[in-house]
């Protein structure tokens, strides 16, 4: 590809730009945002070759456009880039929810456009911003791609190759399946971390003074970008609330075992959890 336009050059967009540039130095990495503050930083760091706050200039003649903003902005972005997409331009995203992108695209284009390939790299850090971008962020990580039935095969191949070329493992599934799985494995843990910190502060503002490594590990993702996670909540609300309800049921079960001094039940739950996590870590 001769030109890739990254819309929203933060941690994920910046890391993708770095990784692609390392593999294909001749590719022009163009950045777009409404203001140039982060774009200037990205260019100074060598993440971008060029940037613009003019959407037409940024998108025109791009082979690939990547939406890397918070997911609530997708519909507006699609409306803004629509007039400037070339006949062979492929559009993809890195958002953590998929059905919202599909719905937004159908609203903007009248039907789901063949050239749009939704994708989600399952990788990240609790620190945000292009300053923390890393060319190796996606190496060995899984990327889920969720094409629709009418998706163009060539566009799908381009997006899959993009991720595989930088060391990611690509898996194709439906948008519904993606949002359900990520609701459990990513969205729910973030809700628990944010809420745990909020709970501690509501109970005792000095609680952090007595927290050790376990709390630090568990609460790490509560340092994630609040705007991004607010948008994810709003765009995957059904899955997240269903999993929160299920987790509350499990927590009630544990609470009852503790009240009843059910030593065997508690030990069985903890052992199963430990073994499951240990087995998962062996695969990493």
| Residue 74 to residues 105, 177, 178, 196, 262, Cα–Cα distance (Å) | 8, 20, 18, 30, 49
Return d(Cα 220, Cα 190) in angstroms, integer: 9
35 three-state secondary structure: coil
**The CATH classification of domain 178-283, taken from the options 3.40.220.10, 3.40.50.12500, 1.10.645.10, 1.10.3660.10:** 1.10.3660.10
Q: How far apart are CA 116 and CA 90, in angstroms?
A: 6
- Residue-wise pLDDT for 56-79, tens only, equals 999 999 999 999 998 999 999 999
Position 171 confidence tier, pLDDT thresholds 50, 70, 90:
very high
Report the pLDDT value the prediction gives residue 284, as an integer from 0 to 100: 72
Q: Given this model, what pLDDT does residue 120 score?
A: 97
Mean pLDDT, range 151-170, rounded to an integer: 97
What is this structure's pTM?
A: 0.86
Q: Quick one: average pLDDT of 165-193? A: 95
Q: Note the helical H segments in 10-166.
A: 11-23, 37-44, 55-59, 74-81, 99-109, 153-165
262, two tokens:
């059910």
The DSSP secondary-structure symbol of 263 reads H
Alpha-carbon distance 189 to 276, whole Å? 16
Chain segment 200-213, per-residue pLDDT in tens: 999 998 999 998 99
Question: Which of 105-114, 119-128, 154-163 bottoms out in mean pLDDT, i.e. has the lowest?
Answer: 119-128
Three-class SS state of 65: strand
131, two tokens:
């300053």
**Do 178-283 and 3-173 fall under one CATH topology?**
no
170 backbone dihedrals φ, ψ, rounded to 5°: -95, 135
- Give the chain's radius of gyration (CA, Å): 21
Going by their DSSP bridges, the two strands 3-7 and 64-67 should be labelled as parallel
| CATH fold of the domain at 3-173 | Rossmann fold (3.40.50)
Q: How many CB atoms lie within 10 A of CB 64?
A: 23
Max Cα–Cα distance, the chain, nearest Å = 67
Q: Is residue 28 a contact partner of residue 6, using CB atoms and an 8 Å limit?
A: no
Dihedral sign for Cα atoms in the order 37, 39, 43, 45: positive
Q: Which of 135-149, 154-168, 215-229, 248-262 has the lowest mean pLDDT?
A: 215-229
Confidence of residue 106 (pLDDT cuts 50, 70, 90): very high
Contacts of 5 (CB under 8 A, 6+ apart): 30, 31, 32, 58, 59, 62, 64, 65, 66
Banded model confidence at residue 102, pLDDT cuts 50, 70, 90: very high
Give the domain ranges of the chain. Answer: 3-173, 178-283
Q: How far apart are CA 121 and CA 145, in angstroms?
A: 9
Is the CB of residue 151 less than 8 Å from the CB of residue 175? no
> Sorting pLDDT into bands at 50, 70 and 90, what band is 225?
confident
Of 142, 152, 131, the residue nearest 88 (C-alpha): 152
What tens digit of pLDDT does each residue of 3-24 get? 999 999 999 999 999 999 999 9
């Amino acid at each position: 590809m001769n030109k890739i336009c990254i819309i929203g050059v933060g941690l994920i967009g910046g890391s993708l730009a770095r990784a692609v540039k390392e593999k294909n130095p001749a590719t022009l990495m163009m950045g777009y945002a409404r203001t140039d503050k982060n774009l200037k930083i990205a260019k100074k760091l060598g993440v971008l070759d060029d940037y613009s706050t003019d959407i037409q200039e940024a998108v025109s003649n791009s082979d690939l456009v990547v939406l890397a903003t918070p997911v609530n902005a997708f519909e507006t972005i699609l409306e803004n880039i629509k007039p400037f997409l070339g006949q062979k331009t492929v559009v993809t995203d890195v958002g953590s929810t998929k059905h919202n992108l599909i719905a937004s695209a159908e609203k903007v284009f009248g039907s789901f456009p063949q050239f749009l390939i939704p994708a989600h790299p399952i990788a990240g850090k609790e620190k945000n911003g292009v300053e923390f971008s890393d060319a190796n962020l996606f190496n060995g990580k899984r990327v889920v791609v969720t094409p629709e039935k009418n998706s163009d095969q060539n566009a799908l191949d381009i997006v899959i190759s993009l991720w595989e070329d930088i060391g990611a493992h690509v898996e194709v599934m439906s948008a519904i399946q993606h949002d359900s799985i990520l609701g459990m494995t990513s969205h729910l843990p973030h809700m628990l971390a944010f809420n745990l910190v909020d709970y501690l502060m509501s109970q005792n503002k000095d609680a952090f003074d007595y927290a050790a490594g376990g709390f630090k590990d568990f609460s790490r993702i509560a340092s994630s970008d609040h705007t991004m996670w607010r948008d994810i909540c709003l765009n995957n609300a059904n899955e997240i609330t269903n999993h929160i309800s299920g987790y509350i049921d499990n927590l009630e079960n544990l609470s009852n075992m503790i009240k009843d001094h059910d030593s065997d039940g508690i030990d069985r739950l903890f052992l199963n959890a430990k073994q499951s996590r240990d087995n998962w870590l062996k695969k990493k």
